[in-house]
Every structure is written in C-alpha cells, then in structure tokens.
Structure 1
Amino acid sequence: MSQAQQAAPPRRSGDTAVVLVLGLAAMVVSMMQTLVVPILGIIQNDLRATTADVSWVATATLLSAAVFTPLFGRFGDQHGKKPTLVGVLMVMVAGSVLAATTTSLTWLIVGRVMQGAATAIFPLALSILREEVRPERLHGAMALVSGTLAFGSGLALVGAGLLTRGSHPDYHRVFWLAVLLAVVALAGVLFVVPASRTKTGGRTDWLGALTLGALLVLILLPVSQGHQWGWASGRTLGAFAGAVVMGMVWVLVERRVAEPMVDLKMFVHPPVLFTNLAGLMLGFAMFTQFLGVSYLVQMPDRLIGYGFGASVLEASVVYLLPTALVSLLGAQVGGVLVRRLGARATLAVGACCGVLGFTWLSGAHDTTASVIGAGMIIGLAISFGYAAMPALIVAGVPSHQTGIANGINSISRSVGSAVASAVITSLLASKTVPVPQGVPALPAESQFTLSFVIAGAAFLLVVVIALLGLEPDRVPRAAEPSTAAEPPAAQGAEAESATAAV
C-alpha cells in the first residue's frame, strides 16, 4: 500500500489560518513577476546596462519559473507539500536578499532566478488546500488564494512606485520589500500550515524535468526576447525550431519512464487541456491590461494628444490599484459562483466580463473614469477566471497529481503573460507619431486600441473554451475531495477511478 493510500489523520479545524497564510504566500509569488516592471529604467541607469541586458532581470524570473514550477509541484506531490513549500520560500528569501544587496547585474539576475522558483508556491498551496480545507469551503478557499495573484501583481507595481519616488530613487528598497514579505510568508507556513497529509513517494523523473524545462525555455526565450533579437532573426527562429524538437524528445521520455513527472494522459485530458488554454488567455489578458494601461496613462497628452501624463506612481496607485482590489474582492464572489453554478459557468461569466471591459477600454480610454471603470470590470473577470481554474483542475485529476497539474496551469498563465509583453512591445514600437527633436519615439494611440482589442478577443476565446470545451456536469461534484474519515480502501478506489477517467 502506497503512502498516498494510507489513512490520513483527522482534518484540522483551523483551516481559516491556513487559507490566509497560503494566500499571503501566493500574493508574494505574483509580486515577483511584476515587481521589477516599474524599476527597469532605474536599474539600467544605476548599473549602466544596456536595454537588452537589463531586460534579463525580468526574463530570468520567467524562465526560472518555467523550469522549477512543474518540478517542485511534482516533488511536493511525492515527498510532501509543506517541506517543499518551506524549501521554495527559503530559496526565494535568499534570492531576494541577494538582489537587495548586490550592485552587479549578473548577481541581480541570479537573484531573480532564485525568486522565479517562488512560482511553484501557488500549485503547492492549492495542493495543501485540497488536503486540509473542508469540502464545503474548498472552492471559496481556492478562489481567495487565486485572487491574491492579481492583487499581488498590482500591489507590486504600487509598492515599487512608492519606494522609488523622489529625485534619488534606489531600486534596492523594492527587493528589501520582497525580503520582508517572503520572511513573513515563510514564518506563517512554518507555524500555521500542518505537516503534509499524503505523499505518493517514488522516484523523481529528473530526465523528464530536464527536457520539459528545456522545452519551456526554448518557447519563452524567443517570445520574451524576440523584440530585441528580431522576430525573423536566426536566434528567434532557431529557438522555436529547437522547441519543436525538444517537445518531441520530452514526449518520448515521458512515454518510456515508469514514473513520469507529467502523465501525458492527464496533460491531454479535456478538462485539463482546455483549462490550460484558458489560463494562457487569462494570463495574456491580465498582463495586457496592466502593461497597456500603465504605458497609456503615462503618455504625454500635451505633446501627442492622448494619455494623461501620469507618473509611474500615479499609474500604479490611481489606475491599476483599483483593478487589483476588485480582483481580490471578486475572488470571494467567484468562489460562491463556483459552488452554486459550477466552475465552467463561472469561467464563462468572467470571460464575458472581460470582453465587456476590454470593449469599453478599446472604445473609450480618453478619461480617467473610463480607464479605471473598464479596469475594474477586467479585474472582476480575472478573479472569476482564477477562481474557476483550480476547481476545474482539481476536478480533472486525482489528488496525487494536484501539484503538477496546477503547476502546468501556472506555467500556461506565465506563457500568456510573456506573449502579452512581446505583443504589446512590438505593437507599440511598430507605429509611432511625430514628436519634437530630442524626444523618444512614442506610439500611436491606435496601437493601444489594437492591443486592447486583441486582449478582448482572448477573453472571447475563453468564453468559447468554457462553453464548448468543458463539460458542465464534472465540476461541482468532482472538485470536492474525499473526507478524512474515508477508509484507506475508499481513498484508493477514488484515486483509481480518477486515474481511469484521465
């Protein structure tokens, strides 16, 4: 009998504290992704780096997340979620301290690589919730933890703006903020999160992890650097070609390994496959809103006829923070909708809100009220989507695959964010308006409109995925885990039944 099938200890009663601590940890995860966006220019000036070199400060975290998230997600399923979560948080603390103390671009990038490992915290947190939270509260708990992702992304932008204001901005303060939050999250996990209830054991599929990591890097590297390299350059095309080859190698490896890191049957199982596609679109739309609005409101209206001439701090606090706050509050509503309507319907409702929000933003972004109002609707859409996706993933996989399945879903959102960054950067650079001599080239207003239209189309695809790709009768019943009182035989039967379904 495997460890995963042994009788679990009685379910804890203090699951509210567990949810709050895991929500804090997830918020820290999302902050690592956007923390450096407002300060890349400051880092470039302080370290006397080129634009191409400093872009690796953001890219390094993305690539690190792609490599380590599925590995740590699977490792947590096998060897215990809490010890894996503690280990990842310790790596993030060390990386944040390194980034906060170094004056070397190379070591700063190393610190960012270590921070990127934090992305694995989110799937580990969802795995712990599935074990520890009572079934009737599971959807709401997952929705709250998922909602902290969008909130954390916005909070990071606000924090970076506040900490670097003034005539002598210091980017090191931003990374000290990351250290403080990571230490608080680590302490919370150590003292509040209970020991892992189940472990599957088995060997770690290092070859599968290596080939999957190489595949994801070969996809994300040209997507994130294509604007610098040139989309038709040999490096960009070569990386995409290498991704195709590595994808075939990864499939061959996983089919031959006795205990693969990713069960390929799970990977193509419709609920999981379509949820990952939805995650890709949601990641794209969320980052488009954050990045597009941030750039738009900073455009000098007196010079080119549009924009608001906002500072980085104003862009974050006035225009982006309301979106983040609505995302956090909307997550609770999303959890209620998942319980009452099902995750499929919640995803569809949220995507419809996203279409509405980006339609508004595309047609009317000339007033502060319009930009904030449309952003709040988009924030609601994102929170509903984030509330629904964990329930869809949990419904589609057995409990011992929760970590790796949610890890892959996290990567799909990261890929979507990377694609959004590449698309927006390319669109804004492709068409500029005349400006006085000595002023940097500025994008035409139509390019912002086009970016928002594309993001609205991404949400429309999510509506199609939810209505045509997902089955409505799977979600409410299958998303609830078995209670701790079930005998070992029942747990084993449930796992076998779910595996057979996959």
Structure 2
Amino acid sequence: MSTAAPTPAEAKNRNETIIVFALSLAAMVVSMMQTLPVPILGLIRTDLGTSTANVSWVTTATLLSAAVFTPLLGRFGDQHGKKPTLVAVLGVMVVGSVIAAVATSLPLLILGRVLQGAATAIFPLALSVLREEVRPQKLPGAMALVSGTLAFGSGLALVATGLLTSGSDADYRNAFWMATGFATLALLAVAFLVPATRHKTGGRTDFLGALTLGITLLLLLLPISQGHEWGWTSGRTLGSFAGAAVMTAVWVFTELKVSEPLVDMRMFVHRPVLMANLAGILVGFGMFANFLGVSYLVQMPEKLTGYGFDASILRASVQFLLPGAIVSLLASPIGGQLVRHRGPRVALGLAAGLGAVGFGWLALDHGHSFSVIGAGLIVGAAVSFGYAAMPAVIMASVPHHQSGIANGINSISRSTGSAIGSAIVTTILASKTIEHLPAGVPALPAESGFTLTFWIGAVAFALVAVISWIGLRGAHGPRTVEAGTPAAAPAKAAEPEPAKTV
C-alpha cells in the first residue's frame, strides 16, 4: 500500500512546526537561566560560606551579561548569520552551566552565570529566524508561542529548582546540572532542526557602539540590582546613575557618527519601537513582581506574622507559581491569534487589563489560596499576551537587517523591568517590617509591604494600557519588511502584508 507524498503546503507546514519547536525550546531554556538561582540563593550562601550581599551577584551577573551581549550578538546574527550565532551562543550557555555546576567558589560560579547570561541573545535571534522561515499568516502565532515560553520557562525553573532542592541534604548544584541538560538539548535541537540563515547583511561590527552601550547598561542596571545593598542614596548608587546618564549621551553621539551603527537611532526612537520597549519594561516588572511577591508572601509563617501560608519553597513553586506559568504557555497561541486578527495593540491592551485586574485582586485579597492562585493565573495570561504583542510591533516596524538588534533591545527592556521589579519588591519588603517579634527571630516584612507591591504591579499594567491605546495607535501585525526599507517609516510599516498563497 503506497503512501501519498506530502504536498508542498504540508511539507512547509511540517518544517515550520519543527522550527518553532526548536526555537521555543531554546527560548524556554534562556528564561529558565534567569530565575533558576532565585530559590537557592540561601543554599549557595551557606555552601560557599559567603554573605547575602556577595551571593546576590549570582543573579546580578546574569542580568549584566545579558545587557552587554544581547544587542551585540543580535546585530552579529543579522550581519553574519543567525543560525551559526544561535549555535555558538547555546554552546556558551552549555559551558557556563557546567562551570556553575562544578564551581567550588563564588567567583567561579559567577563566571558560569556570566556565560549563561550571554545566552539571552537567543530570544531575539530566534524571532529573526521565524521572520525568515515562517509564512506571514502563521508568523504572529509562531512568535507568540516562542515568546510565551519565556514566562513558562521562568516559572518552570522555580518549580524544578524547588523539586531538586527539597530534601534535607539538598545540593544546589543539581539545579545547574539540570540547566546543563536543558541547554544541551536546546543546542542539539537548533543545530539539527533549524535551517541555515538566508539573510545576511555583512558589514563591519560596531564595537565602539557595543562598548559604549554595554557601559551605559552596566552603569544603569548595577545600581538598580545592588541599590538595596549599597543604599539608594549612597555615593556608589547615585554615582552609577549619573554615569549612566553621561554614557547614554556618549553612546548616542557615537551611534550618530559611525557609518554602520550598532543601533540605528531612527529605529530606536521610532514611536512603535519606543513604545514596545517601554511596554517591555513594565511587563517585565509585572512578571517579576508577581513571582517574587507571591513567592515571599506564601512562605511567611502565619503564627508570627498573622498572614501567609507557611509554604516551603517546593510548595510555593508547585502550588502557587506553576499554575500561572502553565497558563502563560497555554495563552501564547491565543495571543498569536489576537495579534494576527486584531493587531498587537488589542493584544497589549488585553494584557494590560488582565494584569491590572490580577494585581488588584492580589492587593485586595491575598489571604486565601484561591485568590493568590487565581490572580496568578490572570497575571500569567497577561504576561503571555504582552510578550506576544511586543515582537509583533517590532517586526512590523523595522527592516530585516535590523530585526535582531531591535528585538535584542526589547529583550533588554524586559530584563531591565525584571531588575527594577526585583529591586522594588526587595526594597519595599525590607523597609516595611513587623515590630515586636520574639527575640532571635529575624526581621519579617509587614503585610502592608505586599499590599503596596501588588498595587504597584496594577499601576504598571495600567500604564501598559496607556501605551497600547495611545502610543501604539495605528500599529498592526507583523509584516515582511525587505532589507533597505527605512526603519522610521510609520506609514509603510503600519500596512499589513497580504497573506501569501501556498
């Protein structure tokens, strides 16, 4: 009995599905690296015999590394090929994961985390590959699915780390060995399932622009992530912020003067791109405010504080955080359909509404597990819709040869938002503590600190609503912009490309 050969349309659809799977896996692994050490910082501090301030560099190092390498590698992929850049970056992530797993000292562990952070460039590179390989009518859904794995991966890392370190003789290195396995799997998937790059712009790499942008981001993100330890009014903190402002001017001047800039300033300030980056900061903030706020809240000892659920790290991850992470993944294709049929503005507006409702619910009632889990489900869907909308705005607004760097900058905006979220949550909870605790009990946050955190999250998503309805007026779904099309061409960028017939 003979089997009919697949039609060209069926073959194309199968290839697209395989490519989306491989890139979704890679994006998920990247997001796992960001949140993976959060539940085990205490174990790392005890095992390596270091201080709380020093161990915080395990998370800070990844953030700073991502900020420096993501735009450079995104642009490098545009110029010299996205697949080889993807494979190389995944290889670096594998090496970093192994170093982190075998590290016996804090400096070696931080080195591994720096290498893991460089892999953040995978996400913008993955979106650029989708733009080349997926048909326009399927592109919104594909981008939404890959984007949705970011929120899912962040939640999955918290849950998996909780499972691997739940015993009495827990070893935090198990989490990094798990990361090594996932990174290796993603490397093999991309190497064998993703086709070679078709679009390469060539040209010289703007190392001066990369250096000045990297220094700018370092000076900005370092005080955001370390301000709680340094003191928000200390000389180091204020000096770093001042230095960031000066270096921003130096970077802009540099990019305006070089012939082949790392970031085209017209593209950078083009209204839809600028609005997508502002939305990225706010959605990234909301995601981390939810993860950290809920995680700390449910672990509070009710007998001492009068609130909380006495949850272990494992219970906090599985019962309270995992449902929202799963919903964020399931909501991804819905977000893609929204972008395709209604445009990214509607998808981002819905994300804003859901996020504001979810955080508002948490602020008003976080004393019942049903409310905490239910609000987490809503916020998870909000983050997923937001992540689906932002790449669509970027792809509709920039030409092929700038898609990698444009999505790289958007990735940095989300990372910046996450860093701000972590800093604000930490600072609020440390500043609002319970008085008159029994002797020997360390300071514990007052319930009002969590309430304030959740209201701030609601305000952040309310600002996303302003961006979607005012800042993105006229924005439509992704289209294929040929190389050479000016980035700052709002009228043309806003026109959706007609669906191609297969």
Query: What TM-score do the two structures reach when normalised by structure 2?
Result: 0.94
- 8 Å contact kept, 1:99–1:107: yes
SS, match of residue 136 in structure 1: coil
Residue number in structure 1 paired with 2:51: 50
Q: Does 1:206 align with 2:203?
A: no
- 8 Å contact kept, 2:289–2:421: yes
- 8 Å contact kept, 1:89–1:118: yes
- 8 Å contact kept, 1:222–1:239: yes
Residue number in structure 2 paired with 1:470: 472
SS, match of residue 138 in structure 2: helix
SS, match of residue 178 in structure 1: helix
Residue number in structure 1 paired with 2:252: 251
Residue number in structure 2 paired with 1:6: none
- 8 Å contact kept, 2:156–2:322: yes
Aligned partner letter, 1:394: M
Residue number in structure 1 paired with 2:174: 173
Residue number in structure 1 paired with 2:141: 140
Q: How does 1:29-428 map to 2 (within 5 A)?
A: 29-428=30-429
Distance apart, 1:497 and its partner CA: 5.2
String of CA shifts for 1:276-309, please: whole Å, max 9, x gaps.
0000000000000000000000000111110000
Distance apart, 1:102 and its partner CA: 1.3
Distance apart, 1:480 and its partner CA: 2.3
Residue number in structure 1 paired with 2:480: 481
- 8 Å contact kept, 2:78–2:201: yes
- 8 Å contact kept, 2:40–2:172: yes
Distance apart, 1:165 and its partner CA: 1.1
Distance apart, 1:400 and its partner CA: 1.1
String of CA shifts for 1:212-265, please: whole Å, max 9, x gaps.
000000000000000000011110011001101111110111011000000011
Distance apart, 1:11 and its partner CA: 7.3
Residue number in structure 2 paired with 1:486: none
Distance apart, 1:198 and its partner CA: 0.5
- Kindly tell me the number of residue pairs found equivalent between the two proteins: 480
Distance apart, 1:350 and its partner CA: 1.1
In structure 2, relative to structure 1, the CA distance for the partners of 1:266 and 1:497 (3 Å cut) is: closer
Distance apart, 1:496 and its partner CA: 2.5
Aligned partner letter, 2:479: E
String of CA shifts for 1:134-155, please: whole Å, max 9, x gaps.
1111000000000000000000
Distance in 2 separating the partners of 1:203 and 1:389: 28
Distance in 2 separating the partners of 1:374 and 1:171: 30
Matching residue within 438, 442, 445 for 2:444: 442
Aligned partner letter, 2:412: I
Distance in 1 separating the partners of 2:35 and 2:486: 40
Distance apart, 1:468 and its partner CA: 0.6
SS, match of residue 194 in structure 1: coil
Distance in 2 separating the partners of 1:309 and 1:446: 18
SS, match of residue 475 in structure 1: coil
Structure 1 segments unaligned to the other structure (5+ residues): 1-9, 483-490
Distance apart, 1:388 and its partner CA: 0.5
- 8 Å contact kept, 2:283–2:414: yes
Distance in 2 separating the partners of 1:79 and 1:125: 15
String of CA shifts for 1:92-142, please: whole Å, max 9, x gaps.
000000000111111000000000001000000000000001111100000
SS, match of residue 396 in structure 2: helix
Deviates more, 1:429-438 or 1:302-311: 429-438
- 8 Å contact kept, 2:345–2:469: yes
What value does the CA root-mean-square deviation take over the aligned residues? 1.3
Distance in 2 separating the partners of 1:165 and 1:448: 25
String of CA shifts for 1:152-182, please: whole Å, max 9, x gaps.
0000000110111111110110000000000
- 8 Å contact kept, 2:398–2:486: no
Query: What TM-score do the two structures reach when normalised by structure 1?
Result: 0.94
SS, match of residue 432 in structure 1: coil
Residue number in structure 1 paired with 2:485: 496
String of CA shifts for 1:324-352, please: whole Å, max 9, x gaps.
00000001110111111110111001110
Aligned partner letter, 2:458: G
Distance apart, 1:376 and its partner CA: 0.2
Distance apart, 1:498 and its partner CA: 4.7
Distance apart, 1:46 and its partner CA: 0.2
Distance apart, 1:13 and its partner CA: 5.5
SS, match of residue 165 in structure 1: coil
Aligned partner letter, 1:76: G
String of CA shifts for 1:437-464, please: whole Å, max 9, x gaps.
1111001101100000001000000000
SS, match of residue 314 in structure 2: helix
Residue number in structure 2 paired with 1:3: none
Aligned partner letter, 1:480: R
String of CA shifts for 1:380-435, please: whole Å, max 9, x gaps.
11111011111001011111111000000000000001011110111001121131
Distance in 2 separating the partners of 1:192 and 1:316: 32
Distance in 1 separating the partners of 2:283 and 2:44: 29
Aligned partner letter, 1:146: S
Distance apart, 1:500 and its partner CA: 4.7
Distance apart, 1:42 and its partner CA: 0.1
Aligned partner letter, 1:411: I
Distance apart, 1:204 and its partner CA: 0.2
Distance in 2 separating the partners of 1:28 and 1:282: 20
- 8 Å contact kept, 2:270–2:487: no
- 8 Å contact kept, 2:396–2:480: no
The alignment-based identity, stated in percent, is: 65
